[in-house]
Amino acid sequence: MEVRLSFGGGVGEAGAAEAAVSLYRWLVAEPELRGQVRVSLGAEQPEPGHMGGALDLVNVVLANSIALGSLVTAVATWRGSRPRPPQIRLERDGVVVTLQDASPEAVERILRVWNENGAPAPAATDGDSE
In the chain, where are the structural domains located? Answer: 2-129
Residue percentage of the chain with pLDDT more than 90: 32
* More confidently predicted of 25 and 51: 25
| Burial classification of residue 50, based on how many CB atoms lie within 10 Å of its CB (0-12 exposed, 13-18 middle, 19 or more buried) | exposed
**CA 110 centroid distance within chain:** 10
pLDDT attached to residue 125:
39
Helix (H), strand (E) at residue 59 = strand 57-62
pLDDT 10s digits, 51-80: 454 567 899 999 888 889 899 999 999 998
* Model pTM score: 0.78
Measured CA to CA, the distance from residue 26 to residue 76 in angstroms comes to: 11
121 contacts 68 by C-beta, under 8 angstroms: yes
Q: What is the pLDDT of residue 118?
A: 60
Highest mean pLDDT among 30-34, 109-113, 125-129: 30-34
Please tell me the distance from the alpha carbon of residue 80 to that of residue 10, in angstroms, as a whole number: 17
d(CA 112, CA 9): 23
pLDDT at 99 over 70: yes
- What pairing do the DSSP bridges indicate for beta strands 128-129 and 57-62? unpaired
pLDDT for res 127 = 46
What share of the chain has pLDDT > 70, as a percent? 77
